Chain A
Amino acid sequence: MQIYLPIAELSVNIFLLLGLGGIVGFLSGLFGVGGGFLMTPLLFFIGIPPTVAVASEANQIVASSVSGVLAHWRKSGVDFKMGVVLLVGGLLGSTMGVWLFTFLKGLGQIDLVISLCYVIFLGIIGLLMLMESVKASIREKRQGKVRKKLHKHLWVHDLPFKMRFRRSKLYISALVPLSVGFFVGVLAAIMGVGGGFIMVPAMIYLIGMPTSVVVGTSLFQIIFVTANVTFLQAVNNQTVDIVLALLLLLGGVIGAQFGTRMSTKLKGEHFRSLLAIMVLTVCVKLLYDLFSTPIDIYSISLGVTH
C-alpha cells in the first residue's frame, strides 16, 4: 500500500516505513541506543531526500526519547542537573547546527557533509565498540578482574566553574559537559540523530559519569535538543514530514518493546560486537558511495542558490 508523503513529496510503501521503524526500534531496544544513526542513512537509501530525512528523524527521536526517559526515570537513572548543563550546550549547538545546515544546503555541500559526518563517527564508534567487546571477551576468558577507580580524573575537569553533580558522584568543571553538549548538538542537527551514540561514550570516557545514569541522562537532554532541531528545521527549511515521522515512530515503538524483552534474555557482549559490525557496515556503504563514481557527475536541484 502506497502512501504519499506530503513534505518529502513522494509516494512510499507504508509497510516499508513501518518495517524500517520496527527493525530499527527492535535494535534500539536490544542495544539501548537511539537508532537515529541507523535510521537516517536507511531513509537516504530508500530515496527520501536527505534534508527531509534528517529533519523528520529528529522529530521521531523526540518521541522515542520521551518514552525511553520515562522508563529510566522510574529506575532513577537520570541526573537532571547534569542533563540541564548538557542541555544548555546542546541547545546552543543544535541552533548553530541548523544554521550551518541551511548555509551548507545553499552551497550545495550539505549531502557531502552529512555523509562525511556519518562515515567519520560511525567509523570511530564502530571500531571502539568492536575493540571493547573483543577486549571484554578476552578478559572474561582470563577471569582476572581488576577493581576500577570511581572515575578517571582528567585535567579538563579542573577548569574553572566547578560544579557538584550528586547523582553522578562528580565534582568537575561545568565547561566539560557544556562543550560536550554543544558539540553533540551541532552533530545532531546536521546528521538528524539524537547523538546518543556519541553522547554516551563521551559521558563515560570524557565526563566520567557512572554507567547507571548515562543512558537516562543522555535521553533526557536528547528530547530537548531534538525538539529544538525539529522546530528550527520546520521554521527554516520546511523539511519536517510529520506523516513520515509518525509512521517510523509507530513501527519503532512496537519494535523497541520486542527488543527490550529480547535484551534481558541474551548476553550483552556478543550483541555489542554485532552492533559494532552493523554500524561499520553502514559506515563502509556510505564510504563506498563517496569514493565510487556517481551515475552522473552532474546533478540537479530546483530553486535558488547562493
Chain B
Amino acid sequence: MSKAYKLSSFLIFFLLFPILAKAEVILADLSTHKIEIDTNFTGTEVVLFGATDGVGDVVVAVRGPMSQATVRKKEKRAGIWMNVDHVTYKNVPKFYWVACSNRDKGCAPKAVKSRHQIGANNLRFKPVSLEPLEPQKDITYRKALLRNKKREGVYPEDIGKISFLGEKLFRTKLNFPANIPTGIYTVEVFQIRDDLLVGAQTIPLIARKVGFEAAIYNFAHNNSIAYGAVAVIIALIAGWMASVLFKKG
C-alpha cells in the first residue's frame, strides 16, 4: 500500500467523520435476523428496537426480496373473461410494510416519502419492456399491482405503530403472515426531523425454509430430474402397498 493512498484514505476518513457521526443519530436492531419457515409455520413476529438522539419521528419500512411481476388485464371476449394484455415490472418487492411513530400525521412529509420510496404507493416499479408505456396505462397497471399485492396480504395496509419508551428508545413489532416469500429482506429505519431525513439505517433479514420443507423445495428445484423420478417411484410403491394392505382386509 503506497503512502499517498494511506494518506488520502486518512484524509477522507477525517473529512467524512463528522457526517458519519452525525448520521448515527439513529441506531436499531432486530430480535432476530432469521425467519425460519418449517412445517408448522403460521406467520411470525420480529421485534425491532432502537434509539435516536431524542428529536424527530421514526419510520420503518420492511421490504421483501425483489422480483419481476406481471400484471394481466382481463377482458370479456365472446362472453368469457380472458387475459388480453399485460405489463411486466421489475424491482417489485415481494413483501412491503411500513410502521411509524406518528401515524396520525401520515408518517412523513410527502416529499420525503416520495424521495425515499416510503409507503407502497411511492415504490417506483420500472416496466421491463424497453418500449415506452403510455403514462395512463402505466398508472392503471401500477395501481392494479398494488391492489393485488394488498389483497394477497403481502403489502399489509395497516401502518404499524412505533412506540417510544422515554425520549430516546423506541420499539415496534414486525408482523409476517404465513405466506411470506422466502429470500433476503431489508428493514430500513429512517429518522425524520423538521421535514427532513436526518438519519437512516438498513438492517438485513433472511426468511428461509428450514428442515423438511427446505430439503424438498431445494431437491425439486436443484435436481428436478431426480425429483421427478423419485416422485414417480414413491407413487408406484404407495399404490402397490395400498393394494397389498387392503387385499387381505
Contact = CB atoms under 8 A, between A and B. Distances in A.
Given A59-B231, A59-B232, A299 B67 contact: no
B145 A300 contact: yes
A227 B231 CA distance: 9
A175 B218 CA distance: 43
A7 B240 CA distance: 25
A10 to B, nearest CB: 6
B231 A257 contact: no
B242 interface: yes
Interface in A254-269: 257
B47 interface: no
Interface residues of B, number: 59
Interface in B93-144: 94, 141, 144
Given A4-B37, A66-B239, A305-B86, A298 B73 contact: yes
B197 interface: no
Interface residues of A, number: 54
A112 B81 CA distance: 9
A146 interface: no
A99 to B, nearest CB: 15
Contacts, number: 176
B82 A297 contact: no
A11 B225 contact: no
Contacts of B74: 294, 297-299
A293 B81 contact: yes
Interface of B is mostly: helix
Contacts of A294: 74, 81
A114 interface: no
A172 B86 CA distance: 50
Interface stretch (A82-90, A206-214, A239-247, A274-282): A239-247
B7 interface: no
A67 interface: yes
Interface string A219-261: 0000100010011111100101011011001000100010000
Nearest to B240: A66
A225 B154 CA distance: 38
Contacts of B86: 108, 305
7 contacts: A2-B40, A4-B37, A233-B228, A296-B144, A300-B72, A302-B67, A304-B68
Interface of B: 37-42, 67-75, 79-83, 86, 88, 94, 141, 144-145, 147-149, 151, 178-179, 209, 212-214, 216-217, 220-221, 224-225, 227-232, 234-236, 238-240, 242-243, 246-247, 249
